[in-house]
Structure 1
Amino acid sequence: MTYSDAAQRRGKRERLATAAAQVLHEQGMEKTTIADIARAADVPVGNVYYYFKTKDQLVEAAIDAHAHTLADMISTLDALPTPQDRLKALLAGWVEQRELTARYGCPTGSLASELDKRDDGLDRTLAKVMRVLLDWAEQQFLAMGRAADARELAVALIASYQGISLLTNTFRDPDLMASEARRLSHWIDSLT
């Protein structure tokens, strides 16, 4: 296999993983078929089985895509000068996605809720991804000098996001996300 063959294979696999994350978010686990994912990735359905033998393997790839997206986001946020700036930029990113959240909910939270109903361990795999964000938020509060309650503050921040994502989706009201982000921004300011 040549380098370009390997790159092309990796390209299709990554497209399928990204498409799986998108389609699972938009349609949910039960409604999503391998054919739906293949169509979204612009890959012939027969080729999917070369990369992924089962729908569960595609779900694992979607979880991996969530992990990569989160890692990229954290890398971008970490370039900001202060922990307050980083936390507020996280909020701004959530607000940018408010229309999508209003239609489908939080991509990771919705998938976590669906995987929790299964007994295959994929829920724990996704929990590791969510823990990365929680740990990162805790580090920001530690950097703000909140050693005594950094973990609790991180949990409160992530729980607020998950809660407002659910409400934004339930009421199909993206303005809820924006107003909660403003409240959380003031809350972050009040902690210093």
Structure 2
Amino acid sequence: MVQKITTDEKILNAFSKLLEENGYTETTTKKIAQAAGVNESTLFRHFKDKEQLVKELVQKYMSDIDTVNAGFIPSGDIVTDLMRVADLYNHFVEAHKALFLIGMRDSFQFPKLKEMIIQLPMKLKKILVSRMTEMKHSGEINGLVNIEITATNYITLILGHALIQNIYTDTGLDISQVDFVQKNVRDFAEHLK
């Protein structure tokens, strides 16, 4: 049986698609309503403004991070685990690229956007710090490793790669996901042992 998409979902899906294509400023409520197949007044009955739409997307994506985290079972090998996390995060950014792109494009002009969107990598950092702390206690990660800095460096590495893959394709800056994981992530993880 086909599940019916709610009006909220239609609006959020249209908003996400338009953000990816046009950025925050060019994504008007009129365009969102039109793309969602609803009246603009319906959009405003469901969402106060574009800022509330961004908040809803962030909350939805935070829930997606929790789902991925709950399904992640560590293998006991830091190299294997960080390579898997890099693949999962790349897929996450690809699936949720609208927010990451407006974070790059529009957060300087709209500081509230930055405040909302930064929650996504911060949530990942919190999860990584927790997981890496467990790995440090079990001896999987060297006891001298600074977990906070390592988690931040790892997020910078994988987020930077995911953004370049999605923004600067065919420029010579993009490395295939397979090569990135096999070379860069593997080397990063090996240094933590």
Alignment TM-score, normalising by the size of structure 1: 0.73
Q: How far apart, in 1, do the equivalents of 2:188 and 2:86 lie?
A: 12
Number of the residue aligned with 1:54: 49
Q: How far apart, in 1, do the equivalents of 2:77 and 2:65 lie?
A: 17
Contact 1:70 1:133 in 2 (8 A): yes
Paired amino acid for 2:27: T
For residues 106-121 of structure 1, the aligned pairs below 5 Å read 106-113=97-104, 114-119=106-111, 121=112
For residues 56-95 of structure 1, the aligned pairs below 5 Å read 56-77=51-72, 79-82=73-76, 84=78, 85-95=80-90
Query: Relative to structure 1, is the Cα distance of residues 170 and 12 closer, same or farther in structure 2, using a 3 angstrom cutoff?
Result: closer
**Unpaired runs of at least 5, structure 2:** none
Number of the residue aligned with 1:143: 134
Contact 1:91 1:181 in 2 (8 A): yes
Q: Which structure has the highest helix share of the two? A: 1
1:109 Cα shift? 3.2
Contact 1:115 1:123 in 2 (8 A): yes
Number of the residue aligned with 2:24: 29
Paired amino acid for 2:109: K
Q: Aligned-pair RMSD on alpha carbons?
A: 3.1
Q: How far apart, in 2, do the equivalents of 1:18 and 1:66 lie?
A: 12
Structure 2 counterpart of 1:125, from 94, 110, 116: 116
Number of the residue aligned with 1:160: 157
Out of 80-89 and 59-68, give the one that drifted further: 80-89
Task: State how many pairs are aligned.
Answer: 178
Contact 2:90 2:162 in 1 (8 A): no
Query: Relative to structure 1, is the Cα distance of residues 35 and 90 closer, same or farther in structure 2, using a 3 angstrom cutoff?
Result: farther
Are residues 1:180 and 2:177 paired? no
1:48 Cα shift? 1.1
Contact 2:90 2:158 in 1 (8 A): no
Deviations 1:75-113 (A, max 9, x none): 222x34447344322212245478x59xxx954432323
Q: How far apart, in 1, do the equivalents of 2:77 and 2:71 lie?
A: 13
1:29 Cα shift? 0.7
Paired amino acid for 2:155: I
Number of the residue aligned with 1:4: none
**Unpaired runs of at least 5, structure 1:** 1-7
Query: Relative to structure 1, is the Cα distance of residues 126 and 97 closer, same or farther in structure 2, using a 3 angstrom cutoff?
Result: closer
Alignment TM-score, normalising by the size of structure 2: 0.72
